[in-house]
Each structure stands twice: as structure tokens, then as C-alpha cells.
Amino acid sequence: MLFLLFYFLLCAILLFQGLHLSAETRTPLGTLPPEVTQDPQTSRGLGGLLMAYAALAALLGLGGFASGALAAARPALFLIGLVLLALFGLWVILLGRKPEYMGKPAPVEDHGHH
């Protein structure tokens, strides 16, 4: 029974992360400097994948209460969800947002002494 709690909690986390990732491309939170950008197509695609998987896993998990075959598939779906969450975390940390430098050099602060 405790497994089901974590299973549906993972589904909710994946769903909310997918919603956040998809919506952030249209209305960014404004917590990053303007030089840091993210690719909107990739963000929407990954957000859609997370939302679709979360919805499918939740529906199959609920169907497991009626069918023994679907109940037996829950551990595999949970493992796939954990892998998706880990890949999403790595994408956010390593690839999601990259600084784009404007090409304008910073002013040199020379105070006249060498």
C-alpha cells in the first residue's frame, strides 16, 4: 500500500514538472538574468512528454485496481517514471538553460595607476 502512495506521488510530480516546463516558455518566472535562455521547443516537448507519461501512468495505475495485469505493471511504470524524473533533473542542471553572451565587452575599469 505504501508503494501506491509513492507511485501516485511520482505521477503528480511528473505532471506538475511537465506543466511548469511547458508554461514557463510562455510566461517565464523572471528569476534568471536576461542572458540565460532556454530553447522553447525543447522545453515544450519535454514538458509534454512528462505530462503525457504522468497521465498514462496514473490511468494505468488506477486501472490496476480493476485488473491484475495492470497492477503487475506498476513497478515497471514506477521505474520508468523515476528514470524520466532523473533525466529531467539532468536536463535542467546541464542542458536546459545556457547563457547567451551579447558580444559586448565589459567596460575596463582603469583607475589610472599601474
Kindly list the domain boundaries of the chain, sorted by start residue. 8-29+36-97
- The yes-or-no verdict on residue 22 having pLDDT over 60 is yes
Between 114 and 66, whose confidence is greater?
66
- The yes-or-no verdict on residue 102 having pLDDT over 60 is no
Q: How confident is the model at residue 26 (pLDDT cuts 50, 70, 90)?
A: low
The grid coordinates of residue 44 equal: 515544450
Between 111 and 5, whose confidence is greater?
5
Q: Which of 23, 4, 1, 2 is nearest to 12 (CA)?
A: 4
Contacts of residue 46, Cβ cutoff 8 Å, sequence gap at least 6: 18, 21, 88, 91
Residue-wise pLDDT for 39-59, tens only, equals 678 778 888 999 999 999 999
Give 78's Cβ-side CA count (13 Å radius): 15
Burial class (CB in 10 A: 0-12, 13-18, 19+), 43: buried
